[in-house]
A and B are shown apart, each in its own frame.
Chain A
Amino acid sequence: MAGLTQTPPQPPGLTPAPYAWTAAQGRAQFAALAKLRWHLFRNAFRRKGGAGEVVARIIFFPIIAAFAFGPTIGAGVGAYFLASNDRLILFPLLTWLIFALWLLVLLNISPPNLSFDINTILRFPLSFPRYLTARIFFGLLSASTVIGTLALISADIGISIARPSLALWATILLATFALSNIFFTRMALVWVERWLSTRRAREILTAFILFASLGFQYININYNPGFQHRRHHHTSTYLPVLQNIFHHIKPIAAFLPPGLAASSIVSFSQGHLLTAMASLLGLVAFTSLFFGVYAWRMHREFLGENLSETTQTNQPSARRTKPAASPRPALTSNTAHATAPSQTFGLNNTVAACLQKEFIYLRRNLNQLYGFIAPLFMVFLFASRISANGSFGELVFPVAIAYSTLGISTLSYNALGMDTGGVQFYFLSPTRLRDVFLAKNLMTFLLTFGELVLILGVIVAVTHFPSTVVLLATIAWLLFATFLNAAVGNLRSIIAPRKVDLMKASRKQISQLSALLALGMIVASAAIGAAVLFLCNYLNRPWLMIPIFAALAIIAFIVYLQVLSRLDALAFTHRETLTEELCKA
């Protein structure tokens, strides 16, 4: 046994790792993590279709840049104006606006997708401080942080130019405020993730957010002076209420981070150093609190807390009542010839089965339901006001229908996305993919038809029945747009599939290029509709719209059928991309 306890001689260069972790090793870990992030980003473009994604990002970049540019310049100019005109007393307004912008961007632009579970780095010998640092840095370059920080830097520059004596203090304050915002948003995100660790909780929250947004639209349209027009008396009624609420909130707001950051600068400018210092300390305390709560959550994860539902379900089911290996002779009966009739409601069995599955998915997909309900709700809100203005007249119905296509038609551009790993089944079973797509398209057509009928009902209820010409022309245009979107969408669904993870609302549901194409197709079909409308009215022959749109609809339908007939061959050549993308973890 002695041999087992002996330390074998170490060859040169292979000395045991020291127990003390050196700073160099720590730096090497961070360097490795940074390199990992870079490789993941770079390799995302090396996939099939990566070039298209680059092009789409280049097209989208100016839009996002413009979104960042406006607030940045605005904050700088605003700060300069307030400081140079001795109106710093209004500075809290600016800090609150930047804070609100920070949250707004956070909610609307998802943080960068890491493509991997950051918690997997726990398997490496990382101390908690290093783990925490890595967690803070990963995902730091989110749109909200970048835009919010740029706005604060710009505000600092504005103040510094206008009042150089405030430059240092403003820099300290705004830097602390930026840190406070960063830790607040990170803290909020990880705690929301903690609370939403079950599917049910996520679904409830998604429903709440979706329907709250409808409520917000209702309030916006009914109480926003911009929508009131001839109802100024309403504004005059609500304004005092809003002012009253503001006066009640103001003292509380002054003791929150945006208020503290602003009041410290204001106090410093007025020479009240102690008050300025107290506000700074208050801001530091808030920052520490946010950091502490965030770190606490991170520590729980560092200790191995796993919120995965799958892990929970790996436990033996309490309801299990039977022994697993129940030898049931019933499985011996082989009635493979008990095949179904080939037609169900005129549809073959595959189409009928897929259509039924699509209905189940629709029922369980709040985002899809929202896409169906939201346009109806908006039409209901807008139709009466637009009609009252008389600005659209007969066009309320076609405009409402064109608007409603935005919600539904994009579904066609990633039709297989929600099937995820199930897409393999289509290739393994005796199924023609054109039948699967036909079922998916039928679902879209049914939704479109349902939307058409309901919108017509809403329009009739709040305004009047559209003229026969407008009604028929709109239906013909809708057929044209629907078949066109279905044809292009089917092709994109096979060429550029994107796995849709319904558990993660922030994940992109469609590829960048497909999103651009969907938008382009909708804009193009709307533009064609507008051009035909203008031309026919110019010629004083509005009825001409009906045959023109009908002809376009027939052409689109032929194109759609052509695409449908080629889908199997196309899917056959793309099946590896499809299964690889949709089956990935």
Chain B
Amino acid sequence: MIPAVATTNLTRRFGEFTAVQDVNLTVAPGQFFGFLGPNGAGKSTTIKMLTGLLAPTSGSIQILGLDAAANPIEVKRQIGVVPEGLALFGRLTAAEYLRFVGRMYGLDTPTTAARTEELLDFMNLANETKKLITDFSHGMQKKLALAAAVIHGPKILFLDEPFEGVDAVASGTLKNMLQGMIARGATIFLTSHVMEIVERLCSHVAIIDRGHLIANGSLEELRAGVQARNPDSNGSASTQTLTLEQIFLSIVGNEPGAHQPEQELSWLG
């Protein structure tokens, strides 16, 4: 089976600093894949390389079996992206923007118009016909960015912190839509700092730390791995059900040089 995303020794350096080092990642089609890591671990750099916003220093990226460097246009036809900066054109209205995006992805005019209407309605943005995107709230902009990312029916959707700044109601809408896409066979690659969301939505998780991929597998596999590493007082593997946050902290551990809160910063509070 051709993986949806596969990287081989993916590396990115910024001068002397190596942000991502030899990352080998495989995401199977139809997976809801969570990509986690502490701040500065290399998550955004990796997602930027996967989506074509950043060139790798070395290594290769395969998207649906296509080499991303050799076939960038064909790869981009197959993917949808909600990047960190949302990639919106502030001086357009939501409908104008979606129509523009639809045409840029090569959809015909009637299809673009129908999907625009449908997406605006679904995202509860249909009433904002006259408002320019620049005047939208952050949550509205995020919903619009997601609508733009799916208008062409991508096979893979890359989402960089899609729930950041989105209210609970809108968040529910987005989750419904994403789960619907997974049910229909799409692959979703998601980064988020909110462990609860990743735990609820994602079937597979990878963790990157200081540029290195340090864990990759289904939630059950990661849980089993952590439990095996941390036996209970009887010396046998713990039977306690670990949350993703506990798994994450167990794998990533504390930041280097970090101290126990009770030992330091005693002047706080």
| Complex contact B91–A334 (CB within 8 A) | no
B173 contacts A325, C-beta separation under 8 Å: yes
- Contact check, B91 vs A327: say whether CB atoms are below 8 A apart: no
**Cα-based distance from A313 to B167 in the complex (angstroms):** 13
Q: Are A313 and B54 closer than 8 Å at their CB atoms? A: no
Instruction: For B164, list chain A residues within 8 Å (CB).
Output: none
Q: Is A108 an interface residue (CB 8 A)?
A: no
- B106 near A430 with CB under 8 A, answer yes
Min CB distance B154 to A, Å, is: 8
Q: Does B55 contact A (CB under 8 A)?
A: yes
Among the listed stretches A225-233, A346-354, A369-377, A441-449, which one makes contact with chain B, having 4 or more residues with CB under 8 Å of it? A346-354
Say whether A11 faces chain B, with CB atoms less than 8 Å apart.
Answer: yes
- Give Cα A353–Cα B170 distance, bound, in whole angstroms: 29
Interface residue? B76 (CB, 8 A): yes
Q: A424 CA to B48 CA in the complex, in Å?
A: 10
Contact A424 B266 (CB under 8 A): no
Q: Is the CB of B91 within 8 A of A364?
A: yes
Q: Which residues of A contact B267 (CB under 8 A)?
A: 10-11, 14, 16
Kindly state the separation between the CA atoms of A310 and B138 in the bound complex, as whole angstroms.
8
Min CB–CB distance B166 → chain A (angstroms): 11
Contact A324 B103 (CB under 8 A): no
CB atoms of B73 and A430 under 8 A apart: yes
Most chain-B CB neighbours within 10 Å: which of A324, A420, A576, A579? A324
Are A327 and B108 in contact, with the CB atoms below 8 A?
Answer: no
A424 touches B91 (CB 8 A): no
Q: How far is the CB of A162 from chain B (nearest CB, A)?
A: 56
The chain A residue sitting closest to B82, CB to CB, is A428
Contact A425 B184, beta carbon cutoff 8 Å: no
Interface size band for A: 35 or more
A338-B111 contact given A364-B91, A424-B83, A428-B76, CB 8 Å threshold: yes
Q: Which residue of B lies closest to A334 (CB)?
A: B153
Q: Which residues of B contact A353 (CB under 8 A)?
A: 100, 103-104
Whether B128 and A429, one on each chain, are in contact in the complex, defined by CB atoms closer than 8 angstroms, is: no
Q: Which of A302-327 contact B (CB under 8 A)?
A: 309-310, 313-314, 317, 319-327
Q: With contacts A324-B169, A579-B85 known, is A428 near B52, CB below 8 A? A: yes
> Does any Cβ of A come within 8 Å of B197's Cβ?
no
Given contacts A8-B266, A349-B106, A427-B52, contact A360 B92 (CB under 8 A): yes
Q: Are A199 and B134 in contact (CB under 8 A)?
A: yes
Residues of B close to A208: CB separation below 8 A: none
Shortest Cβ gap from A425 to chain B (Å): 4
Interchain CB contact under 8 A, A328 and B106: no
Cβ of A297 < 8 Å from any Cβ of B? no
User: Which residues of chain B from 152 to 197 have any CB-CB distance to chain A below 8 Å in the complex?
Assistant: 152-153, 169-170, 172-173, 176-177, 180, 184
Cβ of A365 under 8 Å from chain B: yes
| Residue of A14, A322, A365, A425 ringed by the most chain B CB atoms within 10 A | A425
Which of B22-30, B32-40, B117-125, B235-243 sits within the interface? B117-125
The reply to whether the CB of A506 lies closer than 8 angstroms to some CB of chain B is no
Q: CA A391 – CA B133 in complex, angstroms?
A: 51
CB of A356 closer than 8 Å to a CB of B: yes
Residues of chain A in range 328-346 having any CB-CB distance to chain B below 8 Å: 328, 330-332, 334-336, 338-341
Q: Would you call A583 and B91 a contact (CB within 8 A)? A: no
**B124 vs chain A, min Cβ distance (A):** 5
A199-B135, A575-B54 known; A429 vs B101 contact (CB < 8 Å): yes
In the assembled complex, the CB of A77 is this many whole angstroms from the nearest CB of chain B, namely 49
The one of A314, A327, A431, A576 in contact with B104, judged by C-beta atoms closer than 8 angstroms, is A431
Q: Give residues of chain B (124-149) contacting chain A, Cβ–Cβ below 8 Å.
A: 124, 127-128, 131-132, 134-140, 148
Contact among B86, B172, B180 for A331, CB-based, below 8 A: B180
Interface residues of A in 540-575 (CB under 8 A from B): 572-573, 575
> Given A319-B127, A320-B127: A340 and B106 within 8 A (CB)?
yes
Query: Measured between C-beta atoms, what is the minimum distance from A343 to chain B in Å?
Result: 12
Q: Do A310 and B135 touch across chains, with their CB atoms under 8 A apart? A: yes
Shortest CB–CB separation between residue A196 and chain B, in angstroms? 15
Which of chain A's residues have a CB closer than 8 A to the CB of B107? 338-340
- Interface positions, chain A 60-87, Cβ under 8 Å from B, are none
B77 contacts the other chain (CB 8 A): yes
A478 vs B96: C-alpha distance when bound (angstroms): 34
The answer to whether B132 and A314 touch across the interface, beta carbons within 8 angstroms, is no
| Cα separation A328 to B117 with both chains bound (whole Å) | 12
Do residues A575 and B53 form an inter-chain contact, with CB atoms below 8 A? yes
Q: Which of B64-86 contact A (CB under 8 A)?
A: 72-74, 76-77, 81, 83, 85-86
Residues of B within 8 Å of A323, CB to CB, are 169
Are B89 and A419 closer than 8 Å at their CB atoms? yes
Docked CA distance A339–B104 (Å) = 10
Which of B88, B109, B119, B176 is within 8 Å of A421, CB to CB? B88
Contact pattern, A 180-199, Cβ under 8 Å of B = 1, otherwise 0 = 00000000000000000001
B216 within 8 A of A: no
CA of A340 to CA of B103, assembled, Å:
8
User: Which single residue of chain B is at the shortest CB-CB distance from A353?
Assistant: B103
Check B90 for interface membership: any CB of A closer than 8 A: yes
Given known contacts A321-B127, A334-B184, is B108 in contact with A428 (CB within 8 Å)?
no
Least CB distance, A414 to chain B, in whole angstroms: 15
> A307 to nearest B CB, angstroms?
13
Residues from chain A with Cβ under 8 Å of B51 in the complex = 428
CB distance from A46 to the nearest CB of B (A): 14
B128 touches A317 (CB 8 A): yes
Contact between chains at A422 and B173 (CB < 8 Å): no
Q: Which residues of A contact B89 (CB under 8 A)?
A: 357, 419-422, 425
Residue of A nearest to B14 (CB): A576
Q: Are A313 and B76 in contact (CB under 8 A)?
A: no
B250 shortest CB reach to chain A, Å: 30
A254 to B104, CA, bound (A): 64
Residue in contact with A429 in the complex, picked from B76, B85, B110, CB distance below 8 Å: B76
Q: What is the minimal beta-carbon distance from B186 to any residue of chain A, in angstroms?
A: 9
- Measured CB to CB, the closest approach of chain A to B155, in angstroms, equals 9
Query: Can you list 15 pairs linking A and B with CB atoms under 8 Å apart?
Result: A310-B138, A319-B127, A324-B170, A331-B118, A352-B103, A356-B103, A418-B91, A420-B89, A421-B85, A424-B87, A427-B53, A428-B52, A429-B105, A430-B76, A575-B53
Task: Identify the 3 closest CB pairs spanning chains A and B, nearest first.
Answer: A353-B103, A424-B87, A422-B89
A429-B101, A575-B55 provided; 6 other pairs, C-beta below 8 A? Answer: A338-B111, A340-B112, A424-B86, A425-B87, A427-B52, A431-B73
